[in-house]
Amino acid sequence: MPAQLWMIFLAAWPAVLLSAAAASAREIHVAKTGDDTAAGDLARPYLTLSKAAAAAQPGDTATVHAGTYREWVKPARGGTSEQSRITYRAAAGEEVLIKGSERITSWAPEGDGVWKAELPNAFFGDYDPYAMTLSGGWLEYGQWHHRGDVYLNGEALGERQTPEAVKQQEGTWHCQVAQQTTVIWANFGRADPNRELVEINVRESVFMPAESGLKYITVEGFHLMHSAENWQPPGLQVQMGAIGPRMGKHWIIQNCRVTNARCVGIVLGHAPGVDYGDIDAFGDHIIRHNVIRRCGQAGIVRPVGGRGRRGGVG
């Protein structure tokens, strides 16, 4: 090949690669009318974000349509570059709620506005937030509080230490865990919890990988709610929140709402399997244009994992 043609070929090759990557990228769709055995396109969407997260490849976009998705989304992989991200986004103009809670409609009246729900411990799987109290360094008071919560029409009730205290105050709850069951008492006042929207926490997180170090993931436009993580002190080996990159790199979390995380809304901090001395291994995230409210400890936690040479929190 003549030298001039060879140079032209080399110059054009990156563009060819980018064009091929763009051609192979696809838009995955998720909808409440979907099916996880379907093709995942607009006409045949998946039912869950978890299915989309398992299927998404670098360059793909998962577009999620209106509805409430009760799951912990654990991306299986990240993107490979800024031009080949994996993007998770709410469909334009549609409200998408991702919740760490489940609705409960089996409340039994106890009188004076107090109701009781008795659930088998198996309902919670291997993580029962009502069997675990908040604990850890820097927590100076309230260590009798549990990691779970009770929500009436989207708003959290206040936990009390005894059933008697619940009887005395509307908008409160108390729990006790036995060998086989978890029992929750709640004072809903005049509200009927079997008719209203009453939810309880069951998942530790809402959107976070199981694996550390995933790169180039964008999360946009979701309303993330009701995570049940523990207190997150700076020295904790693994830090959890409603959403976080688990010490990944080059994430973008934007235009989201994060509400009623038990302790932390967005967490950028510690996770296993990362060399903390290598600044190129993590960080450089962009966290912007999010609304964070009613998180028990902090809206954003970012020791170590939030550092980097670019990006920021806004």
The residues pairing with 301 across neighbouring beta strands, listed in sequence order, are 267
Whether pLDDT at 312 is above 60: no
Q: What is the pLDDT of residue 93?
A: 97
Could you tell me the pTM of the whole model? 0.89
Whether pLDDT at 24 is above 80: no
Whether pLDDT at 70 is above 90: yes
Q: What is the pLDDT of residue 309?
A: 46
- 2 vs 123, more confident: 123
Give the long-range contacts of residues 104-109, CB within 8 A, separation 24 or more.
104/193, 104/198, 104/199, 104/200, 105/193, 105/194, 105/198, 106/194, 107/186, 107/193, 107/194, 107/198
Q: What is the pLDDT of residue 17?
A: 43
**Band of the pLDDT at 256, cuts 50, 70, 90?**
very high
Q: In this prediction, what percent of the chain has a pLDDT beyond 70?
A: 87
The residues pairing with 111 across neighbouring beta strands, listed in sequence order, are 114
Q: What is the pLDDT of residue 236?
A: 78
Round the average pLDDT of the chain to a whole number and report it: 90
Q: Please, are residues 95 and 224 in contact by the beta-carbon 8 Å criterion?
A: no
> Once rounded to an integer, what is the mean pLDDT over residues 250-260?
97
- 200 vs 282, more confident: 200
| CATH number assigned to the domain covering 103-200 | 2.60.40.1180
**Band of the pLDDT at 280, cuts 50, 70, 90?**
confident
Q: What is the pLDDT of residue 278?
A: 72
Q: Please, are residues 30 and 51 in contact by the beta-carbon 8 Å criterion?
A: yes
Q: What is the pLDDT of residue 71?
A: 98
Q: What is the pLDDT of residue 313?
A: 54
Whether pLDDT at 18 is above 70: no
The per-residue pLDDT for range 215-244, each reduced to its tens digit, is: 999 999 999 999 999 999 887 778 999 999
Whether pLDDT at 92 is above 70: yes
The per-residue pLDDT for range 155-201, each reduced to its tens digit, is: 999 999 999 999 999 999 999 999 999 999 999 999 999 999 999 99
Whether pLDDT at 251 is above 50: yes
Which segments of the chain belong to CATH 2.60.40.1180?
A: 103-200
Q: What is the pLDDT of residue 198?
A: 98
* Of 30, 68, 102, 53, nearest in space to 218 by CA: 53
Q: What is the pLDDT of residue 270?
A: 78
